[in-house]
């Protein structure tokens, strides 16, 4: 899937950019709970998911009370 074909926002996730969304969609991840279950280290290992996306996701998890996995 080209990032051009990737939606700007998926599921209940905050906008984190098309490359990061594309990486998450490949794994079938489209909820904040799914993202949190992966953990920051695994997310950072995905091509297209960088520190900015992690920061945005972590802030949203904190705001909603969803803890990141270790």
How does residue 2 score in pLDDT terms, banded at 50, 70 and 90? Answer: low
Span 47-66, pLDDT tens digits: 999 999 999 999 999 999 99
* pLDDT score recorded for residue 5: 77
Span 7-16, pLDDT tens digits: 888 999 999 9
3-state helix vs strand vs coil in the chain, percent to 5: 55, 0, 45
Span 14-50, pLDDT tens digits: 999 999 999 999 999 999 999 999 999 999 999 999 9
Q: How many CB atoms lie within 10 A of CB 30?
A: 15
Q: How far apart are CA 50 and CA 36, in angstroms?
A: 15
Q: How far apart are CA 54 and CA 5, in angstroms?
A: 22
């Amino acid at each position: 899937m080209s990032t051009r074909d990737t939606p700007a926002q998926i599921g209940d996730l905050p906008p984190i950019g098309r490359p990061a969304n594309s990486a998450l969609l490949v794994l079938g991840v489209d909820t904040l709970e799914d993202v949190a279950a992966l953990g920051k280290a695994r997310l950072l290992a995905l091509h297209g998911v960088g520190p900015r996306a992690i920061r945005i996701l972590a802030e949203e998890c904190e705001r909603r009370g969803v803890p990141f996995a270790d």
